[in-house]
């Protein structure tokens, strides 16, 4: 179980998050809010990519606030970027393979190929990531996440900058992840886009949960 | 990254060719092989971690300098690899700390190290025991060029083979992930700090041993070993696209072209360096696309 306790974040004097409390025991939590409301910062703090100004993050009753991001991935908490961040000069298969390595280095190519097949991007395996479309990059981002064998997936606006067709494909994958039992936190601007995926919602506005 | 079956024969030809030349060209080929290893060692950092260093004269020149000083104080030649190892460790720590800066600042900061050493080296003058150094530099015993060629060839083969193996390994893949995006690498569980430290060490280690072979070849070192020319050499020699053989070929070409141009006018080779620097952004774009 993941618990966020009294987490605040301030950049210089600007308050981005103020005393956030939330829990994720199971299922999918939707986090909605406008641009600049602090959704991404909240997910990054949980993933360890940002440090909170104060407050704590607990996972399986253990305080992981000071744990580095890479250690949190080993624990099973993994984050996907709003704007996909592939390893541009590597192939799709290498991108997935390197993500598999957190769970051991044996048979990574086979494991990576299996996950590519599961997500439906095996036909892109030999392509360099720098030639992929936005939709393909989003799918690669999801594939990389699954390759780390996570327990909790933090998805930062997975539908951003996607056309209708690609948004549908991403949504189908997320529903599949949900059926497979992954716990997820997903951010979005609007409630509507998440209503089929999320079980619960919270709204973040001006750094606070409303 | 190119295929090994094309690259290995080219390397073999480069290493066998000097055996059929006169002494002068044999000497020049030896120097070229040393600089090819220097470029490849530098390339380990650039290619695998995306850090362009203009400060590899630190491990290269410092090993050469300290080896000459140690030799002056009576340490045997067999002791010199220990100096290379110590310099590699020091350089790795310095490069690692510098790698906390962003990529552009890293270039300028590393450039500063080389320039600082270039400026400081002439001040190494020990009067009491008649160690003058200064602008003159230091000398060690002259080894037969054939012996040095065995060392330089072996070092080039090892550096080349290591680059290839690293490129195919899981460690190499993680390094290249860090090169492409450090934050994304961290987000999939890669220990970015460790990878950067390891990369700094490997690159420094090979460069330090190149510095050692360099002093054995020239039997003399002066402050110019830290020169800007030596600092930018691997950058210029690796501007062309291709596999690991390209930086090697680039180094050989630069050494021979420099030698030919200097017969026209002293230091005329710097014009070639300047021209290659001007076109390097365009050529590097192809190089990056290829790798």
pLDDT value for B128:
64
Task: Mark yes or no for CB contact B170/A108 under 8 Å.
Answer: yes
Residues B13, B153: contact at Cβ < 8 Å?
A: no
**Chain A residues whose beta carbon lies within 8 Å of the beta carbon of residue B173:** 90, 94, 97-98, 101
Q: What percent of chain B has pLDDT over 70?
A: 93
> What are the two backbone dihedrals, phi and then psi, of residue B89, each rounded to the nearest 5 degrees?
-65, -45
**Could you give the CA distance from residue B228 to residue B58 in angstroms, rounded to a whole number?**
12
Evaluate whether residue B291 is within a structural domain: no
**Could you give the CA distance from residue B267 to residue B262 in angstroms, rounded to a whole number?**
6
pLDDT value for B288:
57
Evaluate whether residue B256 is within a structural domain: yes
**Chain A residues whose beta carbon lies within 8 Å of the beta carbon of residue B181:** 85-88
SS3 A11: strand
pTM as predicted: 0.91
pLDDT value for B2:
56
**Which run of H or E residues covers position A88?**
none
Residue B186's closest chain A neighbor by CA? A70
Evaluate whether residue B197 is within a structural domain: yes
Distance from CA of B167 to the nearest CA of A (A): 12
Give the tens place of pLDDT for each residue, B3-38.
777 899 999 999 999 999 999 999 999 999 999 999
Strand ranges of the sheet holding A200-205, from the earlier edge strand across to the other edge: A77-80, A152-155, A183-188, A28-32, A200-205, A208-209
Evaluate whether residue A100 is within a structural domain: no
With tokens 């991935």, the residue in question is A73
Evaluate whether residue B56 is within a structural domain: yes
Evaluate whether residue A203 is within a structural domain: yes
Evaluate whether residue A175 is within a structural domain: yes
Task: Mark yes or no for CB contact A79/B187 under 8 Å.
Answer: yes
Evaluate whether residue A159 is within a structural domain: yes
Residues B239, B284: contact at Cβ < 8 Å?
A: yes
Q: How many structural domains are present in chain B?
A: 1
β-pair partners for B138? B221
Evaluate whether residue B201 is within a structural domain: yes
Q: Two tokens at A6?
A: 């009294």
> What are the two backbone dihedrals, phi and then psi, of residue B81, each rounded to the nearest 5 degrees?
-60, -30
Domain that holds residue B129: 4-286
Task: Mark yes or no for CB contact B184/A86 under 8 Å.
Answer: yes
Give the tens place of pLDDT for each residue, B237-290.
998 867 899 999 999 999 999 999 988 888 888 899 999 889 888 777 655 555
Q: Which residues of B136-150 are buried (b: 16+ CB within 10 A; e: fewer)?
A: ebbebeeeebeebbe
Residues A49, A69: contact at Cβ < 8 Å?
A: yes
Task: Mark yes or no for CB contact B173/A47 under 8 Å.
Answer: no
**Chain A residues whose beta carbon lies within 8 Å of the beta carbon of residue B190:** 70, 98, 101-102
Evaluate whether residue A116 is within a structural domain: no
Q: Two tokens at B106?
A: 């890293």
Residues B240, B283: contact at Cβ < 8 Å?
A: yes
Of A68, A94, A145, which has the smallest distance from its Cβ to B173's Cβ? A94
Per-residue pLDDT of chain A (210 residues; tens, 9 = 90+): 899 999 999 988 888 999 999 999 999 999 999 988 899 999 999 999 999 999 999 999 999 999 999 999 999 999 999 999 999 999 999 999 999 999 998 899 999 999 999 999 999 999 999 999 999 999 999 999 999 999 999 999 999 888 888 889 999 999 999 999 999 999 998 888 888 899 999 999 888 887
Which CATH number do you get for residue B137? 1.10.3470
**Could you give the CA distance from residue B132 to residue B147 in angstroms, rounded to a whole number?**
29
Of A73, A89, A97, which has the smallest distance from its Cβ to B189's Cβ? A73
> What are the two backbone dihedrals, phi and then psi, of residue B216, each rounded to the nearest 5 degrees?
-65, -35
Evaluate whether residue A75 is within a structural domain: yes
Q: How many structural domains are present in chain A?
A: 1
**Chain B residues whose beta carbon lies within 8 Å of the beta carbon of residue A68:** 186, 191
Domain that holds residue A187: 2-86+134-140+149-209
Give the tens place of pLDDT for each residue, B130-160.
666 677 888 888 899 999 999 999 999 999 9
**Could you give the CA distance from residue A178 to residue A184 in angstroms, rounded to a whole number?**
8
Which CATH number do you get for residue A75? 3.40.50.300
Instruction: For chain A, say whether B191 makes contact (Cβ under 8 Å).
Output: yes
Evaluate whether residue A110 is within a structural domain: no
């Amino acid at each position: 179980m993941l618990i966020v306790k009294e987490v605040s974040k301030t950049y210089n004097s600007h308050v981005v998050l103020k005393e956030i409390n939330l829990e994720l025991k199971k299922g999918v939590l939707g986090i909605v809010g406008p641009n600049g409301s602090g959704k991404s910062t909240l997910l990054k703090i949980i993933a360890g990519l940002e440090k909170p100004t104060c407050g704590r993050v607990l996972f399986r009753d253990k305080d992981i606030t000071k744990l580095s991001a890479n250690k949190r991935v080993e624990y099973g908490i993994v984050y996907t970027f709003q704007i996909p961040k592939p390893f541009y000069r590597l192939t799709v298969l290498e991108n997935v393979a390197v993500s598999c390595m957190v769970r051991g280095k044996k048979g990574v190519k086979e494991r990576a190929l299996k996950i590519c097949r599961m997500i439906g991007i095996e036909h892109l395996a030999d392509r360099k990531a720098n030639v992929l479309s936005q939709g393909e990059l989003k799918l690669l981002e999801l594939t990389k996440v699954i390759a780390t064998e996570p327990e909790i997936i933090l998805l930062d606006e997975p539908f951003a900058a996607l056309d209708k067709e690609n948004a549908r494909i991403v949504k189908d994958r997320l529903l599949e992840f949900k059926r497979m039992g992954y716990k997820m936190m997903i951010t979005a601007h609007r409630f509507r886009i998440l209503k089929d995926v999320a079980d619960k919602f919270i709204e973040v506005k001006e750094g606070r949960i409303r | 990254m190119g295929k090994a079956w094309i690259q290995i024969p080219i390397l073999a030809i480069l290493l066998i060719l000097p055996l059929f030349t006169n002494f002068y060209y044999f000497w020049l080929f030896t120097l070229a092989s040393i600089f090819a290893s220097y470029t490849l060692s530098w390339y380990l950092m650039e290619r695998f971690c995306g850090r362009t260093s203009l400060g590899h004269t630190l491990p290269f020149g410092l090993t050469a300098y300290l080896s000459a000083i140690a030799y002056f104080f009576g340490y045997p030649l067999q002791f010199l690899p220990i100096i290379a190892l110590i310099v590699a460790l020091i350089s790795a720590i310095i490069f690692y700390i510098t790698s906390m800066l962003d990529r552009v600042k890293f270039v300028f900061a590393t450039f500063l190290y080389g320039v600082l050493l270039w400026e400081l080296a002439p001040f190494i003058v020990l009067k009491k025991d008649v160690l003058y150094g200064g602008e003159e530099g230091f000398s060690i015993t002259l080894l037969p060029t054939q012996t040095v060629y065995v060392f330089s060839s072996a070092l080039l083969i090892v550096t080349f083979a290591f680059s290839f193996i690293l490129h195919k390994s899981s460690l190499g893949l993680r390094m290249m992930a860090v090169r492409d995006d450090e934050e994304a690498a961290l987000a999939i569980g890669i220990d970015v700090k460790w990878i950067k430290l390891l990369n700094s060490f490997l690159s420094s280690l090979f460069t330090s041993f190149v510095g050692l072979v360099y002093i054995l070849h020239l039997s003399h070192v002066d402050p110019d070993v830290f020169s800007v020319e030596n600092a930018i050499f691997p950058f210029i020699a690796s501007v062309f696209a291709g596999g690991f053989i390209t930086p090697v070929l680039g180094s050989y070409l630069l050494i021979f072209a420099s030698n030919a141009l200097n017969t026209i006018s002293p230091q005329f080779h710097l014009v070639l360096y300047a021209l290659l620097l001007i076109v390097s952004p365009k050529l590097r774009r192809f190089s990056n696309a290829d790798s």
